[in-house]
Structure formats: C-alpha cells, structure tokens
Structure 1
Amino acid sequence: MSRQITVIGGGFAGLTAAISSAEAGATVTLYEAHRTLGGRARTAEGPYHVNEGPHALYNRGPHWSWLKRRDLIKPLAPLPLREAASLRFHHHGALRRLPPLGILKLRARKDAPVDTDFLSWAGSLVGEPTARAAAYYTGVATFHHDPGQLSAAFVQERLRRTTSLPPEAHYIRGGWGELIARMARYALALGVRIETGARVDALPEDRPVIIATHLDSARALLGGGLPPAPGAAAPAVPGGDTPPAPAGTGSLSWSSARTVLIDLAVRTRRGDPFALSGLDFSGWVERFTAQDPSLAPKGEQLIQGQIGIAPHERRADGIARAERLLDAGFPAWRERTTWRRESLAIGRTGAVDPPGTTWRDRPAIDRGNGVYLAGDQVAAPGVLSEVSFTSALEASSLALASSYSPHSFAA
C-alpha cells in the first residue's frame, strides 16, 4: 500500500511537495483554501496580467533544472538585449547608467561574515556611502527597507546573485500563473488529488502532512498541539518586523519585511527603461512588458514595483518613494496611466536573516509527529522562491521516509 501524504497549500511550495511525493509513489491529496492555486505566484486575469509583486526565476537556482527536466519552464519571455541595456539606477537623486564601481568589489567577496551587519562589513571595504547603495540595491531580492542592518552573509549572497553576468533572472511568459498551471496539470497527471476552495482549519489526523503555507497559517493549524521539533526554536530578533510567535507554537516565527507593491499600466512611450533600481532607498520598479508584451493590451506597458518600508512607516511613505523612481525614469507617467493598483505586503516577502543567524536558525521543516513545513520562511537555503522549493523537496523526502503511526500520536 502506498504512503498517503496530505499537502496543505497550493502555492509553489505545495505543488512542488505534491509532485515530488507523487513521483515517489505516494498517494497525495492537496488542499488549497482559495478557489485558485498559486499563493503569491498567482497572476491576475487580463487585461493586465500582474503578479503579486515583481517575479523572476533565477536560472542558477536548484529549481531551474528540476522544472526543466519536467518540461515545466517554457515558454519563457526573453528580455531583448536593447531592453536589458536600459536598466537604470537612481542614485543621489539622479538617474544613472551604472552603479558605484565599489558594488562590483563587494559582489566578488566570498568572506562576508554571518555575525556582522552588511553595512558595517561592506563599509569597512568600500566606504559607507557605497556600502549603503549596495545594500539598497539588494532590496530587489530582500524586500527589506534597510538591508544594511541584516547579516552580511545573507545580503552579500543576494548581491552576488542579482548582479551576476549574464543575468540569472528569467521570466515566465504570461506570468507565474502559467508556471503554476503547468505544475498543476503535471501533478494531476501523476494522480495528485487537488481540492481548491478547501480551507483546513485543524491539523488533519491523516499523516504525514506537509504544511506549505505562510507561517501565520501554520501557527493557526499547529496551535499548541505539537511540541517544537528538536532545534526548531528561532532566536529572538530585536526590532524584527514579524512579532514573536505565541507561546506553545514551536517558535513558528521569523523576521520578514513590509513592502508596498505598486502596479501601473501606462501608454507606451519610446525610451522608457526596462527597470529602475533605487540606490538612495530600497526600491525597484520594472516594466514587465519589456520582455512579455502579452501582459498588457497593445499600446500599453505594465510596470510593477516594490518598495520596502520600516515597521513604523505608512503605505503612503512607500508610495511616495515609488513615485520618486517613476518621476525619474518614466516621463509623464501620470498623464499616461490607464490603470493603477497599490497594496501592502506584511510578512509575505520571505525570510530575512539578522546578524548572527542563517537559514539554519529559521523554523525547522520537521515539526515532529509526521508534520512538516515548507515555504519561504523556513530552514532551507536559497534566494527568493528557491527557499520554498528546497524546503518542499526536503519536506517531501522526510514525509516519504516517516515512520509515523497514528497509533503512536497522542493529540
């Protein structure tokens, strides 16, 4: 009789875990609370095919070859060379073609310490102004309002990955929803039973179970019913954006970021940049129709941006900074705007590691008693969606090897 595995959450992590488990011969049921799969990887239906914040797939990550072997990546939306060359930087209040050269010196280093903040470490090498610009640049991969205060090792890895040549970032034609749809079809073909609109409010008795949700939802499911897994306690994070977990939940908490998301459709104008990176503050806006014109109606361009804001700041503060970038790089964008959407993402942008911590210190995947976590804030390595992917594979592997028996579990 095949192993039965339950997956809660139908985003990128949940689908990865379901596919991996089914390929190994397990009988898998996946529950998704929303009517559609995808989580933060959902893409809105037309006429503007927007993701929940800017999305890209890094081709040197572990998920690239896994998806490629299963023919789940293509078609991609290649970025034309002329568009790639139109990347600009907003530094000292002006638009620039190149970032400070000291950033290249920092990206080449391989000795960034874990226990020192990035600004202190980088400042000792290239000076505080350049170090701060480098930190803000990594806002595209950290989403944090002040990446300089995070672990130097954490930020430097993201600096290296986001400045690599040729660029690692690639784009799914039609938006990430297309990738999710392909993964869902693949899962169904493997025999995975997918139930959407199926909210799970209590931890299922059927085990093993993989919880592939935001940590807040995982806390609600686990409550005080499970002891923390060995080594699972996350350290206290002074000043972190995510509040401490309630007592008895097994330290299901970790620092994340607060981010303002802005989506715009504007009438097409020659000369608009492909993307604009903020070096005076953490922020990034990108014209996604540069590589994929199908995301907006003909004659319009789709721009998406994210701006990190501090715990005490308002959404309006982030919007004001986003508009500073738009003013600098997209002339007359207000007069050209045909559609606009704004939102605030709290704790939904992945983990950030303060000084003295690494991914190993985040909430453990193995929670004991046949329960496993997957997602972008748990103990798994990688950048951006790679954390969800890696944790999902680990959760699947542990679930498949689990010796859990319902008769040995005392609720």
Structure 2
Amino acid sequence: MKPDLTIIGAGLTGLTAAIEAAERGWQVTVAEAHSRPGGRARSLAAPYRANAGPHAIYVDGPWWAWLECRGLTPPIVEAPRYPSLVRAGGQFGPWPAELSEAIAALPAEAPTDESFRAWLLRHVDAKTAEAIVGVVFIVTFDHDPGRLSAAFAHQRLRRGLAGGVRYVTGGWSTLVDLLAERTASLGAQILTQTRMPALPAGPTILATSLATARQLTGDSSLTWPSARVATFDLGLRADGGPDWFRAIDLDERIYAARYSLADPTLAPPGHDLVQIAAACAPHERKADAESRVHRLLDQSWPDWRAGVQWHTSAIRTHCTGAIDLPGTTWHDRPAVTRGTALTVATDQSAAPGLFAEVGIAAAQLALQQLGESPGQPRATTESERSARL
C-alpha cells in the first residue's frame, strides 16, 4: 500500500515524526540508510558503549514532556557527585564560584544583532568574558562562541546551567529502541539499509542532515552554519583514576567526561569510558586538536596513557546543530516547508530548541504543514488498518 507519508531518516527526529504521524492514523514508511535506527543517537556495542552523538537530555525542554505523556521516557541517571576540574585563565581548579556569580548577574535578555563577546564586555571584565565564552562552548561546540549572536549564546548558557541534564542509562540506543518499538507497534514500517537515491512521490519529511537534504533536493539554500568538533573516546582502566567527573578547559574549548561514573553499564567492571569534545577552528587538523586534548589529560590525569585499552576519534562537521551569527535567529534558518508535499526537519531547520530539540520541533511543524496542505496525508480508515493487521 502506498504510504500516506514517507520519512527519510530514522534518527530521533524521524522516529518522533513517525510516532506522531502514526498516532494520527497515517500510513507511515521510514527509510533509514544504516543497518539500524538511531542516526547520530546510536551507541556503540559493548564493551565500551560510547554514544556517537548527544550525551544528555535537557529535561526542561518540550521533547521530555512529549516522551513523558507517551510513557517513552528512558531510564536515566543524574551526574555523579564528583567535582568538575576547570581550567580558566591558565589555572586549574574547581569550578570558580566567581564565574557562577558573574553569569547569574548578567541581564536576563541579550540582543540578537550584537556579538556575545561584545555584549559581555559591556557587563564584565575581559578575563571573565573569555571564561564565560568558554562555558558557552559546552552548549554550542563552537570554537569561538564569542562571535555568535548574543541572544543565541546567552539562551544556551542559561539552559545549560539550569541543572536539567540527565544521562540515558545504557547510552542513547536505549531511547532509540523505545522509539523504534513504539513506531512499529503503531503500524509504521521502518526500512533499514534503504538509501533513497531520489525524493519519493507523495508527502515526505526529510529527517536527515541539511547536507543530505541538499543532495536529495538539489536546493542550494539548504545550508546554515554549524560547529566543527573533534571527538575522542577512551576506554581506560579505572584503577588510580582522578576524582573528577568532568574536566573542562575553558581556554582551549575542551570538554571531557567520565560517563561510566554516571552509568557503569557503559564500560566493563574496573574500567572508565571517557568521551571528549574539542572545538576545532575551520582549518585545524585533528592531530592538533588531539595534542590539545592530550595536554589536558596529562595535567588532569597524569597516568591516563598507561590505562588506555580502547580508543576512537573523529572530526565531526555539521553534526552539532545550528549556530546563529549576529543578526540572525532560528527564524532565519532554512524553512521546514519546501513545497506542498515536501518538508525538511533537521537540527539546523527554522525551529526553536537546543541541539536535537530543533529537529524534533521541526518534525512537528512538518506534520502540521502536511496535515493542512491541499495534498495532505489522509487518515487511514479503520477497515484499512484492520486489513493490514
């Protein structure tokens, strides 16, 4: 039977869209190029279950409420009560209390058309401004968040420090499995290892990257700035390890976390899983980013090299969502609606939210548009649903 809706991409965005569309009674097919659903939310197989993409859910966001009302919230753990080790202004130590005080004293709103750094320098001294810019790396992954729109950076700073972060037990694949199972139970079809060479006929949601959407549509306007980041995942023996959960280099824009301290299932007994992100300038080589990471680890975990049992690394471009430069907001990003029957729902689309929340909000806008357009997907009748069963 010809589907009412085709969704290309079975990541968090595509699966969320499939569930919501199937709940409306639509006949849904999801095409996924890889061997299993998940997209950037996949986790590696044991023994070190590193997440390929995001590591935490912001529970104050609308997607968490969406999951809750469907009984789809995954098992979660909070950050362990270990200290964070921070380098700011060349000095290592605990999280600076004066930095938190400076951030709390900032105005509640920031302008869109001014850079974050210029705005900060009107409220704090230069040293404090650069430390705050370093903190915003954690919620943007950008190599220089000071160049971004002040409104964009400030909103992410406030969300990131609000304390609403939870880690999915067993890695993001735990949540992906819940979403995929619900998708299938509602009658939607997930076709893995199915790469679409061209756009299908009929209503379609491209729940992919902007680059893939651009390739499928030939639409050169499907582009928006994003960060470039080097990731390093390490499996180490835990004996003699440091007492920190996070090591954060605000000067070099590096974030390292021992995620197995929060969730021991991510590594074998007696071992740690450490995942590290280092912001990269446009032309920085991975080897240079790796040298910066090694310097951080040498200072914060002197014996780490002797404990390494496993490692992987990559340079990731356009994998961390949208960044808005001065004078732009999410409204200026590529529109979700691309025609009567085509919509594009990515984490760089014109939709609100933080990281993956943008793609999910875009998917909901896409469903709204497709349901209201002249060629809208029809609701499947009860007799047709019974026939399929």
SS in 2 for 1:368: coil
Does the 8 Å CA contact 1:10/1:31 hold for their aligned counterparts?
Answer: yes
Provide TM-score, normalisation by structure 2. 0.93
Select the residue among 139, 159, 179 that pairs with 2:137: 139
CA distance in structure 2 between the aligned counterparts of 1:35 and 1:376, rounded to whole angstroms: 22
Specify whether residues 212 and 180 from structure 1 end up closer, same or farther in structure 2 by C-alpha distance, changes over 3 A only: same
CA distance in structure 2 between the aligned counterparts of 1:100 and 1:119, rounded to whole angstroms: 21
Select the residue among 110, 115, 118 that pairs with 2:116: 118
Query: What one-letter code is carried by the residue in structure 2 that aligns with 1:195?
Result: L
Does the 8 Å CA contact 2:117/2:146 hold for their aligned counterparts?
Answer: yes
Offset of residue 5 of structure 1: 0.7
Offset of residue 88 of structure 1: 2.0
Does the 8 Å CA contact 1:106/1:156 hold for their aligned counterparts?
Answer: no
Offset of residue 10 of structure 1: 0.5
List, as ranges, runs of 4+ consecutive aligned residues in structure 1 with deviation greater than 6 Å.
Answer: none
- 2:35: which partner in 1? 35
Offset of residue 139 of structure 1: 1.3
- 1:88: which partner in 2? 85
SS in 2 for 1:191: coil
Offset of residue 25 of structure 1: 1.3
SS in 2 for 1:348: strand
CA distance in structure 2 between the aligned counterparts of 1:104 and 1:383, rounded to whole angstroms: 24
- 1:229: which partner in 2? none
- Give per-residue Cα distances to partners, 1:232-268, cap 9 Å, x unaligned: xxxxxxxxxxxxxxxxx15100001110000001111
CA distance in structure 2 between the aligned counterparts of 1:259 and 1:74, rounded to whole angstroms: 27
- 1:212: which partner in 2? 207
Does the 8 Å CA contact 1:73/1:172 hold for their aligned counterparts?
Answer: no
- 2:384: which partner in 1? none
Offset of residue 185 of structure 1: 0.1
- 1:194: which partner in 2? 190
- Give per-residue Cα distances to partners, 1:185-209, cap 9 Å, x unaligned: 001001111100000010111x210
- Give per-residue Cα distances to partners, 1:123-172, cap 9 Å, x unaligned: 111122211111111111101111110111111111111112xx111011
- 2:257: which partner in 1? 286
Query: What one-letter code is carried by the residue in structure 1 that aligns with 2:33?
Result: A
- 2:223: which partner in 1? 253
Shifted more, 155-164 versus 168-177: the winner is 155-164
Q: Is residue 221 from structure 1 mapped to residue 216 from structure 2 by the alignment?
A: yes
- 2:247: which partner in 1? 276
Does the 8 Å CA contact 2:335/2:349 hold for their aligned counterparts?
Answer: yes
SS in 1 for 2:7: strand
SS in 2 for 1:171: strand
Summarize the alignment of residues 251-400 of structure 1 with structure 2, pairs less than 5 Å apart: 251-268=221-238, 269-400=240-371
Query: What one-letter code is carried by the residue in structure 2 that aligns with 1:152?
Result: A
- 1:404: which partner in 2? 375
Offset of residue 404 of structure 1: 2.3
Q: Is residue 178 from structure 1 mapped to residue 174 from structure 2 by the alignment?
A: yes
CA distance in structure 2 between the aligned counterparts of 1:309 and 1:33, rounded to whole angstroms: 28
Identity of counterpart residues, as a percentage?
Answer: 42
- Give per-residue Cα distances to partners, 1:357-393, cap 9 Å, x unaligned: 0011000000113100111111011111111111111
Offset of residue 405 of structure 1: 7.4
Offset of residue 100 of structure 1: 6.0
Query: What one-letter code is carried by the residue in structure 2 that aligns with 1:257?
Result: A
SS in 1 for 2:256: strand
Q: CA RMSD for the aligned pairs?
A: 1.8
CA distance in structure 1 between the aligned counterparts of 2:84 and 2:303, rounded to whole angstroms: 19
CA distance in structure 2 between the aligned counterparts of 1:209 and 1:40, rounded to whole angstroms: 21
Query: What one-letter code is carried by the residue in structure 2 that aligns with 1:169?
Result: V
SS in 1 for 2:319: coil
Does the 8 Å CA contact 2:30/2:191 hold for their aligned counterparts?
Answer: yes
Query: What one-letter code is carried by the residue in structure 2 that aligns with 1:209?
Result: T
SS in 2 for 1:306: strand
Query: What one-letter code is carried by the residue in structure 2 that aligns with 1:272?
Result: D
Query: What one-letter code is carried by the residue in structure 2 that aligns with 1:256?
Result: S
CA distance in structure 1 between the aligned counterparts of 2:94 and 2:355, rounded to whole angstroms: 26
Q: Which runs of 5+ in 2 are unaligned?
A: 378-389
Shifted more, 317-326 versus 100-109: the winner is 100-109
Q: Which runs of 5+ in 1 are unaligned?
A: 224-248, 407-411
Specify whether residues 122 and 100 from structure 1 end up closer, same or farther in structure 2 by C-alpha distance, changes over 3 A only: farther
Summarize the alignment of residues 56-67 of structure 1 with structure 2, pairs less than 5 Å apart: 56-67=56-67
Query: What one-letter code is carried by the residue in structure 2 that aligns with 1:94?
Result: Q
CA distance in structure 2 between the aligned counterparts of 1:46 and 1:282, rounded to whole angstroms: 29
Offset of residue 281 of structure 1: 2.3
Does the 8 Å CA contact 1:139/1:145 hold for their aligned counterparts?
Answer: yes
Offset of residue 101 of structure 1: 2.1
CA distance in structure 2 between the aligned counterparts of 1:147 and 1:344, rounded to whole angstroms: 19
CA distance in structure 2 between the aligned counterparts of 1:53 and 1:100, rounded to whole angstroms: 30
Does the 8 Å CA contact 1:13/1:388 hold for their aligned counterparts?
Answer: yes
CA distance in structure 2 between the aligned counterparts of 1:3 and 1:342, rounded to whole angstroms: 39
Offset of residue 54 of structure 1: 5.0
Does the 8 Å CA contact 1:90/1:328 hold for their aligned counterparts?
Answer: no
Does the 8 Å CA contact 1:364/1:379 hold for their aligned counterparts?
Answer: yes
Offset of residue 102 of structure 1: 4.3
